[in-house]
Each structure stands twice: as structure tokens, then as C-alpha cells.
Amino acid sequence: MHTLYTKSLKMQDTNTNKAKRAASDMPPPSAAKKPRLDQSLITSALKTLQDSCADVLSPNWIDALVKGKCDLPSLTDEEKSVISKFCVNESLAETFLKAVLEKIKAEKESMGHELLQSLCRVYVGLCQKRGDSHKAHALAYRFLKEDFSQAPKLIMVMVTAWPSVFSCNSPLCRAVHIVCKMKAYGKIYYLLSKYLHWDTEPPGDIYRAITSTLKALLKDKSLTFQKSS
């Protein structure tokens, strides 16, 4: 009886050791792979936008919007494609947003307005996918502060990509409303007033906005801008 019990224990030990060896021979589980950031992906995306860009707020579009004969122009298939490629994870999105800002800064004086519009729409569209209106507000404020050509129109272009992007009540967003209202005129002013609801929600006092914005700038170093020449 004792001999049978001893043999049984030895067999259990042997099976346990075999199981351990088998487990040790198995390769460790591979971590979930993130899409690899390839610089050519950014280059290709920028070229796609360059080749397909157009004035989304041409005089005909503006007239039709003013008369209420059409809706805001939606994102193009090319713009949607670029957004879908870079919204798959945080790293890709951040890198592309940074690349767009760097391109806008480097080519401020030479970039065609059509390409700038497309970059704006993709930037804002990607911000919307991430639920990050703050970055969109910072870009809008930069356009206004640094006197980009047709800055109020660029703000309206951003609205075409994300109609409610300027609907929040943060100090920076209020500053965008106030400065934009000061700079806009004509039909662009009319459209901004309509889509940003200035009639029912006036932007507010410029001096209070400046104070609030300065406080926001002091708290958030990412909102610093280049000095005006």
C-alpha cells in the first residue's frame, strides 16, 4: 500500500515538472502593437491635402450660405481619410497635429490659402475626434493674434469642420469670439455672427477677455505664441 502511494506521488511530481518545462518553453505573450509612426505617412497625408485642397468658402459658397440656400461644406473624402489614419491612437494624432502646426508656422507667408484651409479643417476634425476643443481654440487665437491673412475667414473655415467648436465658455474661446468680431467684416462677419450665435450670445467685453486670456496663458505654457514682428 505504502509503495503504491509513493509511486503515485512520484508520477504527480514528474507530471508537474513536465508542465513547468512546457510552460517555460512557450514564448511570452506579445504586447499589443501600436501603429508604427512612419514619417512617410505624414508626408503622404500632407501631399493628399495639397493635391485636393480648394477654397471651401469661395464667393459662391459664401453667397449661398448668406442667402440660406445651402448647408456648411462638409469635410472632403480626402480630409476624412487623413483624419481616420491619424486618430487610431494618441501618439499618431499628437505627432500629426504638431506637424500641421509646424508646417503652418514655417510656411505662413508662402502657403496657399486653399491648403491652409484644408490643414485647418483636418486639424479641427482630428481635435473633434479626440474631444479636444482646447487645441482648436489655441490655433484660432494664433491666427487672430499673429494677423494671418483672412484670419476671420479661417475661423469660419474651422466652423465648417466642427460647427460647435467655439460653443464652450472658456476664457480662450471667449477671446477668440471677441477678437474675431473686431476683425471680421462684410459677409464673413454675417456668417460668423450667424453660426457663432453672436446675436443671442454676444462675445462680451474686450478688457475682461484680455485679463482672462492672460491668466489662461500664465497657467498653460502651450498657449504661448511667437512675437509679432
**How confident is the model over 134-162, as pLDDT tens digits?**
999 999 999 999 999 999 999 999 999 99
Angle between helices 90-106 and 77-86 (to 10 degrees): 120
Q: How many helices (H) does the chain have, and how many strands (E)?
A: 11, 0
Length reported for the chain: 229
- Give the single-character DSSP code of 70: S
Check residue 178 and give its pLDDT: 92
pLDDT at position 213 is: 62
Q: Which residues of 190-217 are buried (b: 16+ CB within 10 A; e: fewer)?
A: ebbeebbebeeeebeeeeebeebbeebb
pLDDT at 79: 98
Per-residue pLDDT tens digits of the chain, which is 229 residues long: 544 444 444 455 555 554 444 444 544 444 445 555 668 999 999 999 999 999 999 999 999 999 999 999 999 999 999 999 999 989 999 999 999 999 999 999 999 999 999 999 999 999 999 999 999 999 999 999 999 999 999 999 999 999 999 999 888 999 999 999 999 999 999 999 999 999 887 776 655 666 666 666 666 655 554 554 4
Sign of CA dihedral 226, 186, 161, 209: positive
* Residue 119 vs residues 17, 128, 161, 193: alpha-carbon distances, Å: 62, 14, 11, 23
